[in-house]
């Protein structure tokens, strides 16, 4: 420990601790020096023209590797593994007191602190840990499974090849995973997250975030949840790069939104998008297409109430919804609210669940489950052989009234009979039946 003055400190052999104190100090390091540590802190040092230096005796820049561990600067001799650790070199709150100002090499090359910082923003072909500063930085991981953190500032983080973890932290950041399976976390601010190729996990964090998805993106997952995000006019967007509405299909799996590219089968899953209790935190606000068109959250919700030619699973919301199946064997579930469930063609399963629902199986042999509330079951010529299950355990609906509506039919058009505990309603002219179980 040198104290006051312009000192030269040479630990020699062994694992040494060096502290220059006040003044412009020189720390000497060479092959065989061991594992040394510098604490360059000098509280309230007012030395004019202060310049703290590490002098590498017999070593040039290409002989040294530089890395960052937390806020420490690590300088390692490649050939021998000897290391010199400068503690808290990158501490933003104390950088003027802790940081080394210059590295001096045997061939006369100098590297100042700004050059050190810049060098540490670029990765290697190995597994790197890169940490930005409280400025606008560009961090590139290259190959390897990298861990990259932007800290404050409007940063650009590029993982390159490998399974990378990118953290934007504070500021309006751009995160690009590139190849392989990456994890991207935007943090605080309005961030852009592009997983690139591979099966990536994307979480924008607080702020208005943009997620990019395109052909070649793989099977990606978005977790858009942020607890108590108070961002004004928050707008979270999925940008479907090079894709239009006709290029994708939308569907719902439980509370997840699934966006699938028809041509490639690649999928983007937005977890918990339809979770009613958390919709302000999880839902995507807008899908943006290449032609400039877009879908809002409400338009997405409405679109997913209508089936396709395939076998669809359609869920309603906690509102009064109209669910429409098509030609496939569909399953429609109304959830809460007074819903209308229209099965269309095919062998459909209609579940009214909570609320006073209307269940119309349409053509085909359908099963209609009213659930809680006062429900109406529609039956007509052409409806096929339908079954009603009207049971709802401990249903306390006031003035509950469940109805079979025989559309286009009069009493003379039907026969009623009992089979064990089932009521059978048969259309005389067609032989079609509606069975009311139990």
Domain that holds residue 21: 8-119
Indicate if 401 and 319 belong to the same structural domain: yes
**Residue 44's Cα: distance from chain center in Å?**
45
216, 198 contact by CB (below 8 A) = no
Q: Report the alpha-carbon distance of residue 262 to residue 164 in Å, rounded.
A: 28
Single out the residue in 119, 154, 178 at which a domain terminates: 119
Segment 3-13 mean pLDDT: 85
Q: What is the DSSP letter of 306?
A: B
State yes or no: pLDDT of 369 exceeds 70: yes
Average pLDDT, the chain: 94
pTM of the model: 0.85
pLDDT at residue number 44? 72
Same domain (yes/no): 184, 224:
yes
What is the rounded average pLDDT of the residues 101-130?
A: 94
Q: Same domain for 81 and 204?
A: no
| Residue 124 included in any domain | no
pLDDT one-digit tens code per residue, 79-106: 999 999 999 998 865 445 789 999 999 9
Residue 94: its pLDDT value, please? 47
pLDDT, one tens digit per residue, over 157-179 is: 999 999 999 999 999 999 999 99
Query: How far are the Cα atoms of 178, 248, 308, 311, 368 from residue 267, in angstroms, in the given order?
Result: 17, 10, 18, 19, 32
Domain end, chosen from 62, 92, 119, is at: 119
Q: What pLDDT, on a 0 to 100 scale, did the predictor assign at position 95? A: 46
Does some domain include residue 191?
Answer: yes
In this structure, the answer to whether residues 159 and 67 fall within a common structural domain is no
Give the pLDDT of residue 206: 95
Counted domains in the chain: 3
Is residue 3 over pLDDT 80?
no
What integer pLDDT is reported at residue 164 of this predicted model?
98
The reply to whether 45 falls in a domain is yes
Q: Which of 270, 303, 336 is the last residue of a domain?
A: 303
Q: Check whether residue 281 and residue 413 sit in a common domain.
A: no
pLDDT at residue 278 in the model: 53
pLDDT band at 4 (very low <50, low <70, confident <90, very high): confident
Band the pLDDT of 216: cuts 50, 70, 90. very high
Shared domain check, 98 and 222: no
């Amino acid at each position: 420990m040198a104290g006051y003055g312009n000192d030269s400190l040479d630990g020699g052999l062994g694992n040494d601790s060096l502290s220059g104190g006040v003044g412009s100090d020189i720390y000497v390091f060479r092959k065989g020096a061991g594992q040394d540590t510098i604490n360059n802190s000098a509280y309230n040092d007012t030395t004019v023209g202060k310049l703290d230096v590490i002098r590498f005796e017999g070593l040039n820049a290409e002989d040294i590797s530089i890395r960052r561990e937390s806020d420490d600067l690590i300088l390692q001799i490649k050939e021998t593994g000897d290391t010199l650790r400068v503690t808290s070199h990158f501490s933003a709150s104390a950088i003027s007191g802790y940081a080394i100002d210059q590295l001096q090499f045997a061939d006369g090359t100098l590297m100042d602190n700004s050059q050190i910082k810049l060098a540490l923003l670029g990765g290697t072909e190995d597994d790197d840990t890169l940490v930005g500063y409280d400025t606008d930085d560009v961090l590139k991981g290259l190959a390897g499974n990298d861990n990259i953190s932007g800290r404050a500032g409007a940063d650009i983080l590029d993982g390159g090849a490998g399974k990378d973890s990118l953290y934007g932290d504070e500021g309006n950041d751009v995160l690009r995973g590139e190849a392989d399976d990456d994890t991207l976390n935007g943090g605080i601010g309005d961030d852009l997250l592009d997983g690139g190729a591979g099966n990536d996990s994307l979480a924008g964090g607080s702020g208005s975030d943009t997620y990019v998805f395109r052909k070649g993106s793989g099977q990606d997952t978005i977790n858009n949840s942020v607890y108590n995000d108070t961002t004004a006019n928050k707008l979270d967007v999925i940008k479907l790069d090079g894709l239009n509405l006709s290029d994708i299909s939308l569907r719902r799996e439980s509370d997840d939104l699934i966006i699938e590219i028809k041509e490639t089968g690649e999928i983007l899953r937005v977890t918990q998008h339809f979770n009613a209790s958390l919709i302000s935190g999880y839902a995507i606000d807008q899908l943006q297409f290449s032609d400039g068109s877009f879908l809002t959250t409400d338009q997405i919700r409405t679109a997913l109430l209508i089936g396709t030619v395939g076998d669809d699973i359609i869920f309603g919301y906690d509102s009064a919804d109209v669910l429409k199946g098509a030609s496939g064997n569909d399953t429609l579930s109304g959830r809460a609210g007074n819903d209308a469930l229209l099965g269309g063609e095919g062998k459909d399963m209609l579940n009214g669940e909570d609320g006073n629902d209307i269940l119309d199986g349409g053509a085909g042999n359908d099963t209609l489950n009213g659930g809680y509330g006062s429900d109406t079951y529609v039956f007509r010529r052409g409806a096929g052989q339908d079954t009603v299950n009207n049971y709802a355990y401990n249903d306390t609906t006031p003035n509950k009234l469940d109805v079979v509506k025989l559309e286009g039919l009069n009493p003379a058009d039907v026969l009623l009979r009992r089979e064990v505990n089932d009521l059978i309603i048969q259309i005389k002219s067609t032989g079609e039946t509606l069975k009311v179980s139990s």
